[in-house]
Amino acid sequence: MAALSAGTKAPEFELAAMDGSKFSLQDALNQGPVLAVFFKISCPVCQYALPFYERIYKANGSGNVSIVGISQNEKRDTAEFAKRYGITFPILLDDTKTFLVSNAYGLTNVPTSFWIAQDGEIEISSVAWVRQEFEEIVRKAASANGETPKPVFQPTEHIADFRAG
């Protein structure tokens, strides 16, 4: 089963965050759109991509957009991953026995990110690393905050157009 596609209603969920708080998709959507990035710490493409999602968070995470990672690993291992890769956006923990939320979103590969509009519709479903889709997420995050997109890539960086998840 492939990840849910754009145009699909995002399944509601509530998960515990690393800091012990609870995150509800519906509560977050009441404030604005949500970027949900599913990952597994052992995934090389996740290790590549999540620091770029961190850049979106740094540029747009204090506005109307909620940016969350959803880990498919245990809390301790996820904390080590976040520290190693400099991830400061909120990270939620999917149940590592049932993967209830990952399964509800049809995940077969990570990383997978979803841009969920305020009405709950998935507008972008991005599996693996697709630079074009990432750049569209950057534009949507800036637009949701009434801003012009800020560059997230440095001129000296070589950024892959695609990396399989």
The predicted-structure confidence for 12-30, as pLDDT tens digits, reads as follows 999 999 999 999 999 999 9
- Greatest pairwise CA separation for the chain in angstroms: 42
Domain count, the chain: 1
What is residue 82's three-state secondary structure?
helix
Note whether residue 165 is domain-resident. no
Q: What is the dihedral of CA 145, 54, 45, 140, to 10 degrees?
A: 0
Show the domain range for 30.
Answer: 14-146
**Tokens 């991005």, located at residue:** 126
CATH of the domain at 23: 3.40.30.10
In which band, very low, low, confident or very high, does the pLDDT at 34 lie, cut at 50, 70 and 90? very high
How far, in Å, CA of 161 to CA of 17, rounded? 31
How long a stretch of residues is the chain? Answer: 165
| pTM (global) more than 0.75 | yes
**Contact criterion met (CB below 8 Å) for 11 and 104:** yes
Give the pLDDT confidence of 41-82 residue by residue, as tens digits.
Answer: 999 999 999 999 999 999 988 889 999 999 999 999 999 999
Report the amino acid identity of residue 37: V
Position 164 in a domain: no
Q: Is residue 1 part of a domain?
A: no
Q: Within a domain: residue 122?
A: yes
Burial of 6 by CB count in 10 Å (0-12 exposed, 13-18 middle, 19+ buried)? Answer: middle
Is 121 contained in some domain? yes
> What is the reported pLDDT for 1?
45
- Residue 125: in which H helix or E strand, if any? strand 122-127
